[in-house]
Amino acid sequence: MPDKGNRKAGVFIDGANLFFTQRHMGWQIDFSRLIAFFMQCFDSVEARYYVPESGALSQEQVAFNRMLEANGYTITSKPVKKIVNKETGEVVMKGNLDVELVVDALTTASRYDSFILVSGDSDFLPLIRALRSRGKDIQVYSTRGLSAWELVAEPGIGCHDFSDIRSKIELIASHEVQQSAHAESPESVSGQAGLPTKGEIFTGSIISVKSYGIFLSNPYHVKCLLPLSFLGVETRISSLPSIVRSTDLFRVAVFDVDAEGGPPRITVKLIDRQMSGVLEERAFRFLQKNSAKN
Protein backbone atom coordinates (compact mmCIF):
# COMPACT_ATOMS: atom_id res chain seq x y z
CA MET A 1 0.00 0.00 0.00
CA PRO A 2 1.34 3.47 -0.82
CA ASP A 3 2.17 5.79 2.06
CA LYS A 4 -0.77 8.12 2.61
CA GLY A 5 0.84 10.33 5.21
CA ASN A 6 -1.48 11.96 7.72
CA ARG A 7 -4.74 10.59 6.39
CA LYS A 8 -7.61 8.57 7.82
CA ALA A 9 -8.65 5.10 6.76
CA GLY A 10 -11.88 3.19 7.19
CA VAL A 11 -11.31 -0.58 7.19
CA PHE A 12 -14.38 -2.72 6.52
CA ILE A 13 -13.95 -6.48 6.94
CA ASP A 14 -16.38 -9.01 5.48
CA GLY A 15 -15.83 -11.66 8.16
CA ALA A 16 -17.55 -14.52 6.32
CA ASN A 17 -15.56 -13.88 3.15
CA LEU A 18 -12.32 -13.55 5.12
CA PHE A 19 -12.98 -16.93 6.78
CA PHE A 20 -12.93 -18.66 3.39
CA THR A 21 -9.99 -16.54 2.28
CA GLN A 22 -7.88 -17.76 5.20
CA ARG A 23 -8.91 -21.35 4.60
CA HIS A 24 -7.95 -20.98 0.94
CA MET A 25 -4.54 -19.48 1.84
CA GLY A 26 -3.83 -22.13 4.48
CA TRP A 27 -2.69 -19.67 7.14
CA GLN A 28 -4.35 -17.35 9.67
CA ILE A 29 -4.26 -13.57 9.92
CA ASP A 30 -3.17 -11.89 13.15
CA PHE A 31 -5.65 -9.05 13.56
CA SER A 32 -3.41 -7.05 15.88
CA ARG A 33 -0.67 -7.17 13.23
CA LEU A 34 -3.22 -6.38 10.50
CA ILE A 35 -4.37 -3.13 12.10
CA ALA A 36 -0.75 -2.26 12.91
CA PHE A 37 0.06 -2.76 9.22
CA PHE A 38 -2.64 -0.27 8.21
CA MET A 39 -1.51 2.11 10.95
CA GLN A 40 1.89 2.33 9.29
CA CYS A 41 0.27 4.02 6.30
CA PHE A 42 -2.36 6.21 7.93
CA ASP A 43 -2.57 8.70 10.76
CA SER A 44 -5.68 6.95 12.11
CA VAL A 45 -7.55 3.76 11.32
CA GLU A 46 -11.17 2.92 12.14
CA ALA A 47 -11.73 -0.80 11.64
CA ARG A 48 -15.07 -2.65 11.49
CA TYR A 49 -15.62 -6.40 11.43
CA TYR A 50 -18.89 -7.90 10.12
CA VAL A 51 -19.79 -11.47 10.98
CA PRO A 52 -22.97 -13.62 11.18
CA GLU A 53 -23.73 -15.56 14.36
CA SER A 54 -25.23 -19.04 14.45
CA GLY A 55 -26.60 -19.73 17.91
CA ALA A 56 -24.83 -19.12 21.21
CA LEU A 57 -21.20 -18.04 20.99
CA SER A 58 -18.57 -20.60 21.91
CA GLN A 59 -15.78 -19.72 24.34
CA GLU A 60 -13.41 -19.53 21.38
CA GLN A 61 -15.68 -17.05 19.58
CA VAL A 62 -16.06 -14.94 22.72
CA ALA A 63 -12.28 -14.83 23.13
CA PHE A 64 -11.88 -13.92 19.46
CA ASN A 65 -14.36 -11.04 19.80
CA ARG A 66 -12.58 -9.76 22.89
CA MET A 67 -9.30 -9.83 21.01
CA LEU A 68 -10.83 -7.82 18.15
CA GLU A 69 -12.29 -5.24 20.52
CA ALA A 70 -9.01 -4.98 22.44
CA ASN A 71 -7.28 -4.12 19.18
CA GLY A 72 -9.77 -1.40 18.29
CA TYR A 73 -12.18 -3.23 15.98
CA THR A 74 -15.91 -2.55 16.07
CA ILE A 75 -17.90 -5.77 15.66
CA THR A 76 -21.24 -5.88 13.85
CA SER A 77 -23.11 -9.18 13.88
CA LYS A 78 -26.58 -10.61 13.45
CA PRO A 79 -28.09 -14.08 13.86
CA VAL A 80 -28.16 -16.46 10.93
CA LYS A 81 -31.71 -16.98 9.61
CA LYS A 82 -33.20 -20.28 8.50
CA ILE A 83 -35.35 -19.85 5.40
CA VAL A 84 -37.55 -22.75 4.28
CA ASN A 85 -38.54 -23.11 0.63
CA LYS A 86 -42.27 -23.83 0.82
CA GLU A 87 -42.25 -25.73 -2.46
CA THR A 88 -39.21 -27.95 -1.95
CA GLY A 89 -38.86 -27.91 1.83
CA GLU A 90 -35.20 -27.03 1.42
CA VAL A 91 -33.67 -25.11 4.31
CA VAL A 92 -31.34 -22.25 3.39
CA MET A 93 -29.11 -20.52 5.94
CA LYS A 94 -28.85 -16.75 5.46
CA GLY A 95 -26.35 -14.64 7.37
CA ASN A 96 -25.19 -11.94 4.99
CA LEU A 97 -24.13 -8.56 6.43
CA ASP A 98 -23.37 -6.86 3.11
CA VAL A 99 -26.16 -4.31 3.63
CA GLU A 100 -24.89 -3.36 7.09
CA LEU A 101 -21.37 -2.92 5.76
CA VAL A 102 -22.56 -0.77 2.86
CA VAL A 103 -24.75 1.44 5.07
CA ASP A 104 -21.94 1.97 7.58
CA ALA A 105 -19.41 2.73 4.84
CA LEU A 106 -21.69 5.38 3.33
CA THR A 107 -22.87 6.99 6.57
CA THR A 108 -19.33 7.24 7.97
CA ALA A 109 -17.67 8.30 4.71
CA SER A 110 -16.90 11.78 6.08
CA ARG A 111 -14.62 10.18 8.70
CA TYR A 112 -12.11 8.60 6.32
CA ASP A 113 -10.11 9.45 3.21
CA SER A 114 -9.34 5.87 2.17
CA PHE A 115 -11.86 3.05 2.05
CA ILE A 116 -10.24 -0.34 2.67
CA LEU A 117 -12.40 -3.35 1.85
CA VAL A 118 -11.29 -6.74 3.13
CA SER A 119 -13.28 -8.99 0.82
CA GLY A 120 -13.10 -10.47 -2.65
CA ASP A 121 -16.86 -10.20 -3.21
CA SER A 122 -17.90 -8.31 -6.37
CA ASP A 123 -21.26 -7.46 -4.73
CA PHE A 124 -19.48 -4.47 -3.23
CA LEU A 125 -18.74 -2.91 -6.63
CA PRO A 126 -21.69 -0.43 -6.44
CA LEU A 127 -20.41 0.74 -3.05
CA ILE A 128 -16.87 1.08 -4.37
CA ARG A 129 -18.06 3.13 -7.33
CA ALA A 130 -20.20 5.36 -5.13
CA LEU A 131 -17.30 6.06 -2.78
CA ARG A 132 -14.89 6.63 -5.65
CA SER A 133 -17.33 9.22 -7.06
CA ARG A 134 -16.98 11.03 -3.73
CA GLY A 135 -13.21 11.19 -4.18
CA LYS A 136 -12.31 8.36 -1.82
CA ASP A 137 -9.17 6.32 -2.28
CA ILE A 138 -10.19 2.65 -2.68
CA GLN A 139 -8.09 -0.33 -1.58
CA VAL A 140 -9.24 -3.97 -1.68
CA TYR A 141 -7.56 -6.87 0.16
CA SER A 142 -8.19 -10.55 -0.59
CA THR A 143 -6.16 -13.28 -2.31
CA ARG A 144 -5.67 -14.83 -5.73
CA GLY A 145 -8.26 -17.39 -6.62
CA LEU A 146 -10.96 -15.86 -4.41
CA SER A 147 -10.97 -12.27 -5.61
CA ALA A 148 -13.78 -11.72 -8.11
CA TRP A 149 -12.43 -10.80 -11.53
CA GLU A 150 -14.80 -7.80 -11.59
CA LEU A 151 -12.94 -6.33 -8.61
CA VAL A 152 -9.52 -6.97 -10.11
CA ALA A 153 -10.59 -5.43 -13.43
CA GLU A 154 -12.27 -2.39 -11.88
CA PRO A 155 -10.32 0.77 -12.79
CA GLY A 156 -9.21 3.29 -10.20
CA ILE A 157 -8.83 0.92 -7.23
CA GLY A 158 -5.88 -0.84 -5.64
CA CYS A 159 -6.20 -4.62 -5.33
CA HIS A 160 -3.83 -6.34 -2.90
CA ASP A 161 -3.10 -9.99 -2.19
CA PHE A 162 -2.68 -10.99 1.45
CA SER A 163 0.00 -13.45 0.40
CA ASP A 164 2.22 -10.52 -0.59
CA ILE A 165 2.21 -9.21 3.00
CA ARG A 166 2.10 -12.56 4.80
CA SER A 167 5.27 -11.90 6.77
CA LYS A 168 3.70 -8.76 8.23
CA ILE A 169 0.27 -10.06 9.21
CA GLU A 170 0.44 -13.84 9.74
CA LEU A 171 -0.62 -15.26 13.08
CA ILE A 172 2.33 -16.95 14.75
CA ALA A 173 1.36 -19.77 17.11
CA SER A 174 2.45 -19.03 20.67
CA HIS A 175 4.19 -22.40 21.06
CA GLU A 176 6.27 -21.67 17.95
CA VAL A 177 7.33 -18.34 19.42
CA GLN A 178 8.26 -19.96 22.73
CA GLN A 179 10.26 -22.73 21.04
CA SER A 180 12.15 -20.18 18.95
CA ALA A 181 12.83 -18.07 22.03
CA HIS A 182 14.27 -21.01 23.94
CA ALA A 183 16.51 -21.84 20.99
CA GLU A 184 18.13 -18.40 21.10
CA SER A 185 20.23 -16.69 23.74
CA PRO A 186 18.56 -13.73 25.53
CA GLU A 187 20.85 -11.32 23.71
CA SER A 188 19.72 -12.51 20.27
CA VAL A 189 16.01 -13.04 20.96
CA SER A 190 15.11 -9.40 20.37
CA GLY A 191 14.20 -8.92 16.74
CA GLN A 192 13.59 -12.68 16.31
CA ALA A 193 10.92 -15.17 17.44
CA GLY A 194 8.26 -12.48 17.06
CA LEU A 195 9.94 -10.00 19.42
CA PRO A 196 10.82 -6.42 18.49
CA THR A 197 14.13 -4.63 18.67
CA LYS A 198 14.54 -1.43 20.66
CA GLY A 199 13.23 1.56 18.79
CA GLU A 200 10.63 -0.30 16.72
CA ILE A 201 7.41 1.68 16.34
CA PHE A 202 3.82 0.45 16.37
CA THR A 203 0.35 1.61 17.36
CA GLY A 204 -1.47 -0.14 20.20
CA SER A 205 -4.95 0.04 21.65
CA ILE A 206 -5.82 -0.24 25.33
CA ILE A 207 -6.13 -3.62 27.01
CA SER A 208 -6.17 -2.33 30.59
CA VAL A 209 -5.19 0.75 32.58
CA LYS A 210 -3.44 0.68 35.95
CA SER A 211 -2.32 3.53 38.18
CA TYR A 212 1.27 3.00 37.03
CA GLY A 213 0.71 2.64 33.27
CA ILE A 214 -1.26 1.33 30.32
CA PHE A 215 -1.13 -2.20 28.95
CA LEU A 216 -1.39 -2.14 25.16
CA SER A 217 -2.20 -4.56 22.38
CA ASN A 218 0.79 -5.18 20.15
CA PRO A 219 1.83 -7.21 17.11
CA TYR A 220 4.29 -9.29 19.15
CA HIS A 221 1.78 -11.12 21.40
CA VAL A 222 3.59 -10.21 24.62
CA LYS A 223 2.78 -8.18 27.70
CA CYS A 224 3.33 -4.54 26.72
CA LEU A 225 3.47 -1.72 29.28
CA LEU A 226 3.42 2.01 28.57
CA PRO A 227 4.54 3.41 31.97
CA LEU A 228 3.05 6.56 33.44
CA SER A 229 6.46 8.22 33.29
CA PHE A 230 6.71 7.59 29.54
CA LEU A 231 3.56 9.49 28.55
CA GLY A 232 5.36 12.81 28.09
CA VAL A 233 2.92 14.63 30.41
CA GLU A 234 4.22 17.29 32.79
CA THR A 235 1.00 17.82 34.75
CA ARG A 236 0.73 15.48 37.71
CA ILE A 237 -1.57 12.58 36.88
CA SER A 238 -3.43 11.64 40.05
CA SER A 239 -5.69 9.07 38.37
CA LEU A 240 -4.52 7.60 35.08
CA PRO A 241 -7.73 5.56 34.49
CA SER A 242 -9.72 8.80 34.70
CA ILE A 243 -7.95 10.48 31.79
CA VAL A 244 -7.62 7.54 29.40
CA ARG A 245 -10.41 6.65 26.98
CA SER A 246 -11.09 3.13 25.72
CA THR A 247 -10.92 4.39 22.12
CA ASP A 248 -7.46 5.97 22.52
CA LEU A 249 -4.69 4.70 20.28
CA PHE A 250 -1.03 5.07 21.25
CA ARG A 251 1.84 5.32 18.78
CA VAL A 252 4.83 4.08 20.72
CA ALA A 253 8.45 3.07 20.35
CA VAL A 254 9.93 -0.01 22.05
CA PHE A 255 12.12 1.12 24.95
CA ASP A 256 13.09 -2.23 26.47
CA VAL A 257 12.66 -5.96 25.72
CA ASP A 258 12.81 -8.39 28.63
CA ALA A 259 13.04 -12.04 27.53
CA GLU A 260 14.55 -13.41 30.74
CA GLY A 261 12.90 -15.20 33.64
CA GLY A 262 9.51 -16.01 32.15
CA PRO A 263 7.27 -14.84 29.30
CA PRO A 264 8.74 -11.98 27.25
CA ARG A 265 7.71 -8.43 28.17
CA ILE A 266 8.26 -5.11 26.47
CA THR A 267 8.24 -1.56 27.76
CA VAL A 268 7.32 1.23 25.36
CA LYS A 269 7.43 5.02 25.24
CA LEU A 270 4.77 7.30 23.76
CA ILE A 271 6.12 9.17 20.72
CA ASP A 272 2.86 10.78 19.56
CA ARG A 273 3.14 14.41 20.71
CA GLN A 274 -0.48 15.05 19.84
CA MET A 275 -1.64 12.29 22.18
CA SER A 276 0.72 13.55 24.88
CA GLY A 277 -0.94 16.94 24.51
CA VAL A 278 -4.39 15.39 24.76
CA LEU A 279 -3.44 13.56 27.96
CA GLU A 280 -1.86 16.73 29.33
CA GLU A 281 -5.11 18.64 28.79
CA ARG A 282 -7.22 15.86 30.33
CA ALA A 283 -4.94 15.67 33.37
CA PHE A 284 -5.13 19.45 33.85
CA ARG A 285 -8.93 19.46 33.61
CA PHE A 286 -9.17 16.53 36.02
CA LEU A 287 -7.06 18.40 38.58
CA GLN A 288 -9.14 21.55 38.15
CA LYS A 289 -12.37 19.61 38.58
CA ASN A 290 -11.14 17.92 41.76
CA SER A 291 -9.80 21.20 43.15
CA ALA A 292 -13.18 22.85 42.61
CA LYS A 293 -14.90 20.04 44.52
CA ASN A 294 -12.53 20.46 47.44
Check the CA dihedral 86-90-95-99 and report its sign.
negative
Q: Tell me how many helices (H) and strands (E) the chain has.
A: 11, 13
| Global model pTM greater than 0.75 | no
Q: Which residues of 157-192 are buried (b: 16+ CB within 10 A; e: fewer)?
A: bebbbbeebeeebbebeeeebeeebeeeeeeebbee
252 versus 174: which is more confidently predicted? Answer: 252
**Those residues with Cβ within 8 angstroms of residue 278's Cβ, 6 or more apart along the chain or in another chain:** none
Task: Return d(Cα 192, Cα 208) in angstroms, integer.
Answer: 26
60 versus 109: which is more confidently predicted? Answer: 109
Q: Which residues of 198-231 are buried (b: 16+ CB within 10 A; e: fewer)?
A: eebebbbbbbebeeebbbbbbbbbbbbbbeeebb
H-type alpha helices, 80-123: 98-107
pLDDT at 1 over 60: no
Question: Looking at residues 164-183, what average pLDDT do you find?
Answer: 62
**Those residues with Cβ within 8 angstroms of residue 34's Cβ, 6 or more apart along the chain or in another chain:** 169
φ, ψ dihedrals at 179, nearest 5°: -65, -40
pLDDT score for 264: 85
| pLDDT bracket for residue 96 (50, 70, 90) | confident
pLDDT at 178 over 50: no
Question: Looking at residues 102-128, what average pLDDT do you find?
Answer: 95
196 versus 179: which is more confidently predicted? Answer: 196
- List the one residue out of 189, 237, 190 whose CA is nearest residue 214: 237
Q: Which residues of 43-80 are buried (b: 16+ CB within 10 A; e: fewer)?
A: bbbbbbbbbbeeeeeeeeeeebbeebebbbbebbbeee
Question: Looking at residues 82-98, what average pLDDT do you find?
Answer: 64
CB atoms within 10 A of CB 95: 16
- Greatest mean pLDDT among 5-14, 210-219, 256-265: 210-219
pLDDT in tens, 190-226: 444 468 888 888 888 888 888 899 999 888 888 899 9
- Spell out the domains of the chain, with CATH numbers in brackets: 8-169 (3.40.50.1010), 180-293 (2.40.50.140)
pLDDT at 138 over 90: yes
Task: Return d(Cα 48, Cα 35) in angstroms, integer.
Answer: 11
Task: Return d(Cα 64, Cα 53) in angstroms, integer.
Answer: 13
Tell me the HSE value of 218 on the side-chain side, using a 13 A CA sphere. Answer: 26
Q: Which of 117-131, 252-266, 267-281 has the lowest mean pLDDT?
A: 252-266
Question: What does the CA dihedral 65, 255, 196, 6 come to, rounded to 10 degrees?
Answer: 70
pLDDT score for 223: 87
Beta bridge partners of 44: 8
pLDDT in tens, 14-69: 998 998 899 999 999 988 889 888 887 887 889 999 988 876 777 778 878 887 88
Q: Which of 122-131, 156-165, 238-247, 256-265 has the lowest mean pLDDT?
A: 256-265
pLDDT score for 188: 35
43 versus 183: which is more confidently predicted? Answer: 43
% residues pLDDT > 90 (the chain)? 39
Beta pairing class for 73-79 and 81-84? unpaired
294 versus 280: which is more confidently predicted? Answer: 280
Question: Looking at residues 154-161, what average pLDDT do you find?
Answer: 93
Beta pairing class for 249-258 and 265-270? antiparallel
Tell me the HSE value of 153 on the side-chain side, using a 13 A CA sphere. Answer: 4
- List the one residue out of 196, 230, 234 whose CA is nearest residue 213: 230
pLDDT at 189 over 80: no
